[in-house]
């Protein structure tokens, strides 16, 4: 994989087969649902996986762990959003609206159109983030409904719970991976892995497993732990591991790699819709968005930066007209318009992660 944020590796060559079963460790599932709730255009995990022909399976006791971890992760996420100043949101709104108007008037170049289409975190703040009902009570209701939908999607009797618990207890007693630390009881990890093995043994297709836990990975983090790989090989099945980072979906450029790769198994029209959903949830990060703004502003010259800040209200909160800015700098309104266009283009190109800027002739 080219992205460093997550690694996908197979115990066997999957030959491009779509997943039959999908298992997410609790933290990946929780982060996904928090971000899915945070956008207006939901991913809807059950629907998403049904389009791929896959079923998400919750391991036994995973719901208990989900609700133990949910309040803490939820509080951390909301705390980040409350730090975003209102004037920054307003400035970004103005920027996006200005681009939309310029697009309608056919004033944007090809590269400017590409920048407008790929605003990423900035565009998400304006167009994707939910309104003020972003409360624990509303998320709790949303998560309960989502978990109910996921349970209903799993065929009855798919996993023998007693068998999984007995095997997990033996794994802990023998200190077999993912129970690598003798001082800790890795009950949840062992239950999840035993669930993966039972799905693998059905040999109905590849099992995709996403986790933030390094105990499942080889030392180079490019595949399954050798011991776990041998277990999969003995069953003659396929397990594809997706090692996700703790920041997945919370920093610019981090995606739920498992879901993103699943889009290759659906028609292109639906794949584009799914990719748009995933781009939305993987950009719902106030910290990443604000860092992108500051980083982009630093790439501008002093004059470009000050003019853009005045025009976007990033200074004292007042939105200066081009005529007012021209009076401040002692130049014509046309000159300010030219510098502003150049600064906006450079700013947007930097936000989308490129320095390839088509300079206008002075």
Q: If pLDDT is split at 50, 70 and 90, which confidence band does 354 have?
A: very low
What digits encode the pLDDT tens for the residues 196-242? 999 999 999 999 999 988 888 887 767 889 999 999 999 999 999 99
Mean pLDDT score of the chain, rounded to an integer? 77
Q: Which are the contacts of 149, defined by CB distance < 8 A and separation ≥ 6?
A: 45, 46
227 vs 199, 209, 218, 329, CA distance in Å?
18, 16, 9, 68
Residues 6 or more apart from 256 whose CB is under 8 A from it?
A: 28, 32, 210, 244, 248, 249, 278, 281, 282
3-state DSSP of 307-343: HHHHHHCCCCCCCCCHHHHHHHHCCCHHHHHHHHHHH
Tell me the three state secondary structure of residue 349.
helix
Give the C-alpha separation, 285 to 291, whole Å: 10
Mean pLDDT in residue range 304-320: 75
Arithmetic mean of pLDDT, 294-319: 76
The dihedral sign for the CA sequence 195, 198, 203, 204: negative
Residue 179 pLDDT > 60: yes
What does the pLDDT average to over 5-22?
Answer: 60
115 contacts 348 by C-beta, under 8 angstroms: yes
Cα–Cα nearest to 10, from 165, 224, 174: 224
Asked if 226 contacts 218 with a C-beta cutoff of 8 angstroms, the reply is yes
pLDDT for 89 equals 58
Contact 179, 190 (CB under 8 A): yes
Segment (H or E) for 187: helix 187-201
């Amino acid at each position: 994989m080219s992205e460093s944020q997550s690694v996908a590796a197979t115990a066997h060559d999957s030959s491009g087969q779509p997943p039959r079963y999908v298992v997410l460790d609790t933290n990946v599932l929780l982060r996904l649902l928090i971000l899915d709730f945070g956008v207006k255009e939901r991913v809807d995990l059950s629907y998403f996986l049904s389009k791929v022909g896959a079923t998400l399976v919750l391991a036994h006791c995973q719901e208990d762990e989900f609700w133990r971890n949910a309040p803490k992760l939820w509080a951390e996420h909301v705390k980040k959003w409350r730090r975003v100043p209102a004037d920054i949101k307003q400035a970004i709104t103005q920027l996006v609206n200005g681009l939309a108007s310029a697009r309608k008037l056919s004033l944007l170049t090809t590269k400017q159109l590409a920048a407008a289409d790929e605003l990423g975190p900035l565009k998400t703040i304006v167009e994707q983030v939910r309104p003020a009902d972003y409360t624990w009570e509303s998320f709790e209701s949303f998560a309960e409904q989502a978990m109910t939908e996921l349970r209903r999607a799993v065929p009855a009797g798919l996993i023998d719970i007693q068998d999984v618990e007995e095997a997990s207890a033996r794994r802990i007693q023998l200190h077999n991976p993912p129970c690598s630390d003798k001082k800790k009881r890795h009950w949840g990890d062992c239950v999840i892995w035993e669930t993966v093995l039972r799905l693998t043994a059905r040999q109905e297709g590849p099992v995709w497993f996403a986790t933030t836990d390094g105990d499942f990975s080889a030392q180079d983090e490019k595949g399954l732990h050798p011991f776990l790989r041998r277990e999969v090989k003995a069953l003659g099945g396929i397990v594809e591991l997706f090692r996700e980072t703790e920041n997945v979906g919370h920093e610019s450029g981090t995606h739920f790699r498992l879901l993103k790769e699943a889009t290759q198994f659906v028609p292109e029209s639906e794949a584009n819709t799914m990719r748009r959903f995933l781009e939305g949830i993987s950009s719902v990060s106030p910290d990443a968005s604000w860092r992108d703004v500051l980083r982009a502003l630093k790439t501008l010259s002093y004059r470009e930066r000050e003019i853009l800040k005045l025009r976007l209200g990033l200074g004292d909160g007042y939105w200066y007209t081009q005529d007012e800015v021209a009076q401040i700098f002692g130049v014509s309104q046309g000159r300010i318009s030219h510098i502003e266009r150049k600064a906006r283009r450079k700013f947007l190109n930097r936000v989308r992660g490129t320095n390839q800027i088509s300079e206008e002739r002075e």
